[in-house]
Amino acid sequence: MILILGGTGEARELARRVVPEVGAHAAGTPDLTTPAVFRGPVVSSLAGRVSSPALPPGEVRIGGFGGVAGLVQWLRDNDVHAVVDATHPFARRITANAFEACSQAGVPLLILRRPGFTPQSGWRWVDSVAEAARELPGERVFLTTGRQDLGEFAGCPQWFLARMVEPPEPPLPQRIEVLLSRGPFTVDGELELMRSREIDVLVTKDSGGAMTSAKLEAARQLGVPVVVVRRPPLPPAETVADVDGALSWLGTAGA
């Protein structure tokens, strides 16, 4: 079995391309990019954070494994041959757990991480969301760091437009508008949103990917300063930047 740790667009694309019957149906013809080695089951794993997640094709399991020990057990119980960690660049814990569990269980691990944003001049880089909260160069803040980190801004006097997929839980900033929305977003849409709320600073994680970059282009056009939270470091596992790289690796990992 191949286990894909998911929750991202790349994880869904990888699942689509390694679940042969789905790939064939989607294209109307056999998916020639899917090597013949992918005959075994493929299971995608989601954390279960959102109530109606975008589901990948094929088998899906939802919920935590129970830390490193639980994941080691799961890998053994399910005869997993290879793990692809295609989680979000800021999902630090599951990535660390996958590295440790795969090491313990002797299962090959690949990390699939899309590249970060192409840096633009004038961006302010910080090491954490907490640091971003301490150094906001504006009063009307467009916050796109997700609901899990919202508490870091709870003591801030600024006004916030906070966009996320699921409703947040306290603590929240006192002056806040919550916008529940899931991408992709367009540059025109982001321009309209930022103009209408008179945004004067954008805070983002260095998530990377085209799906979330429209806000950066809108900020550039409007001359709005951007605060970018750096990614956490990766464990020393083999890493690729795209789904093609993951498919090549799976072909040689004997999955």
What is the binding site for ligand NAP (CB under 6 A)?
5-8, 45-47, 49, 64-67, 70-71, 87-88, 90-94, 97, 146
Q: How far is the CB of 68 from ligand NAP (least distance, A)?
A: 8
Nearest to ligand NAP of 31, 203 (CB atom): 203
Q: How far is the CB of 152 from ligand NAP (least distance, A)?
A: 13
* Residue closest to ligand NAP, measured at CB: 64
CA distances from 99 to 1, 4, 50, 86, 95 (A): 18, 13, 24, 12, 6
Nearest to ligand NAP of 81, 231 (CB atom): 231
Nearest to 83 by CA among 34, 11, 20: 11
Q: How far is the CB of 214 from ligand NAP (least distance, A)?
A: 16
Q: How far is the CB of 141 from ligand NAP (least distance, A)?
A: 18
Nearest to ligand NAP of 46, 143 (CB atom): 46
Beta bridge partners of 49: none
Q: How far is the CB of 4 from ligand NAP (least distance, A)?
A: 8
Q: How far is the CB of 146 from ligand NAP (least distance, A)?
A: 5
CA distance 119 to 39: 41
- 8-state DSSP, 79: T
- Strands, E, within 105-210: which ranges? 109-112, 124-126, 140-143, 159-164, 176-180, 201-205
Helix intervals (H) in the chain: 9-18, 20-27, 67-77, 92-105, 129-134, 187-196, 214-222, 243-252
Nearest to ligand NAP of 73, 225 (CB atom): 73
Q: What is the radius of gyration, based on Cα positions, of the chain?
A: 20
Nearest to ligand NAP of 161, 200 (CB atom): 161
Nearest to ligand NAP of 45, 213 (CB atom): 45
Q: How far is the CB of 30 from ligand NAP (least distance, A)?
A: 29
CA distance 103 to 181: 38
Contacts of 114 (CB under 8 A, 6+ apart): 8, 10, 89, 208, 209, 241, 242
Nearest to ligand NAP of 17, 114 (CB atom): 114
CA distance 198 to 139: 10
Secondary structure element (H or E) that encloses residue 60, with its range: strand 59-62
